[in-house]
Amino acid sequence: MQALAKTVAAPGLELIDAPVPEIGPDDVLIRINRTGICGTDIHIWNWDDWASKTVPVPLITGHEFAGEIVDLGRNVTGYQIGQRCSGEGHLIGHQSRQSRAGKFHLDPETRGIGVNEQGAFAQYLRLPAFNVVPLPDEISDDIGAILDPLGNAVHTALSFDLVGEDVLITGAGPIGIMAAAVARHVGARHVVITDVNQERLDLAARVADVVPVNVAEQNLADVAARLRIRQGFDVGLEMSGNQIAFDQMVESLVMGGRIALLGIPPGKSPVDWSRIVFKALTIKGVYGREIFETWYKMIAMLENGLDISGVITHRFAATDYRAAFEVMKSGQSGKVVLDWTG
């Protein structure tokens, strides 16, 4: 099979010929139709400090995918050959207290496909049957390939009750934009999304019913006043990993406000904890998806009218992966999807 792999400890990926994975008794073999390029994949491509300390070489990368089952391990039940699916890319252990309590997303033994284990940038993927998520007919392969990041957006957005609330989202990357769409879908009153990238703010406005704010050119307090948000935003969803954005969020929230924190600032960042304490803010760190509650909720929302299709701005054949990664790295795109069927 063809696959995209990190073959040397240096920037870039290479399209290689690799053996089709052999599955175990509890695995399925998935023929990959589409994959999404993630920010994590950009870190791996760039071979930054995190990637060089985390990713073994050689490794087939990629963890956002949609495809169909073509083989079943002898112990696998409940699935059929030809069944369309996506899947949870976090491979959990079964011995920790968290895992044994059913809190799979908190398992400290978690390993990621395409990060620690062989990944989905390939024509075939071996995956534990436990991790398979069937795709309804209403969900296309393109959308199925971005359910992983949509799950991050859903997990973050649903961390707190949003019905009737005013929501501030910092960071108009694809996950921030999808979180904005989710917030509106579940009943938030006003959703404001901030960034300094005007192209992505324009994309946010096309995808979701939100108020985009370029904080390099607009005053966020003036926008809030225009929306009659008098005491501050009720909920903040931090998606940027930018210290200035986080500080602005803290200042913009109401007393007793709540922040769901998905963005990861590089290195250590100074935080004025007195502002957080004196405003009685609640901060929740968000990692990945709740396995599998988030998957059920986001599929239900997609079946019930949530439309995030506009967040996909570019599609490439897998063999054109270099151009696809350049577009993704440019910051002038939404989600980029690779087609493995050609």
* Confidence band of 331 (pLDDT split at 50, 70, 90): confident
CA distances from 29 to 36, 111, 145 (A): 19, 19, 16
Q: Give pLDDT tens digits for 135-179.
A: 999 999 999 999 999 999 999 999 999 999 999 999 999 999 999
CATH code of domain 153-285? 3.40.50.720
DSSP 8-state assignment for residue 332: -
- Positions annotated as catalytic residues are 40, 43
Correct CATH for 2-146+308-339 of 3.30.70.20, 3.90.180.10, 3.40.50.2300, 3.30.365.10: 3.90.180.10
What is the mean pLDDT of the segment spanning 72-81?
98
| pLDDT tops 90 at residue 31 | yes
User: How does the average pLDDT of the chain come out, rounded?
Assistant: 97
- At 269 the pLDDT is 85
Q: Are 186 and 157 in contact (CB under 8 A)?
A: yes
Q: Is residue 56 classed as helix, strand or coil in its secondary structure?
A: coil
Count of other CB atoms within 10 angstroms of residue 271: 14
Q: How far is 91 from 85, CA to CA, in rounded Å?
A: 16
Q: Give pLDDT tens digits for 89-124.
A: 999 999 999 999 999 999 999 999 999 999 999 999
CB neighbour class for 8 (10 Å; exposed up to 12, middle 13-18, buried from 19): exposed
| pLDDT tops 90 at residue 306 | yes
218 CB contacts (<8 Å, ≥6 apart)? none
Q: How far is 112 from 133, CA to CA, in rounded Å?
A: 16
HSE-CB for 175 with a 13 A CA cutoff: 29
Q: Give pLDDT tens digits for 33-42.
A: 999 999 999 9
- At 130 the pLDDT is 97
- At 230 the pLDDT is 93
What is the mean pLDDT of the segment spanning 327-340?
95
Angle formed by the axes of helices 174-185 and 293-303, nearest 10°: 70
pLDDT > 70: what percent of the chain? 100
| pLDDT tops 90 at residue 193 | yes
Q: Are 69 and 82 in contact (CB under 8 A)?
A: yes
Q: What is the pTM of this model?
A: 0.95
Q: Give pLDDT tens digits for 249-282.
A: 999 999 999 999 999 888 888 889 999 999 999 9
Q: How far is 83 from 129, CA to CA, in rounded Å?
A: 12
Listing DSSP states for 259-270 in one string gives EEE----SS---
**Nearest partner of 30 among 69, 60, 65, judged by Cα:** 69
Q: How far is 257 from 285, CA to CA, in rounded Å?
A: 15
Q: Give pLDDT tens digits for 202-245.
A: 999 999 999 999 999 999 999 999 999 999 999 999 999 999 99
CA distances from 172 to 7, 245, 315 (A): 32, 11, 20
Listing DSSP states for 227-255 in one string gives TT--S-EEEEEE-S--HHHHHHHHHHEEE
What are the structural domain ranges in the chain? 2-146+308-339, 153-285
- At 223 the pLDDT is 97
- At 342 the pLDDT is 85
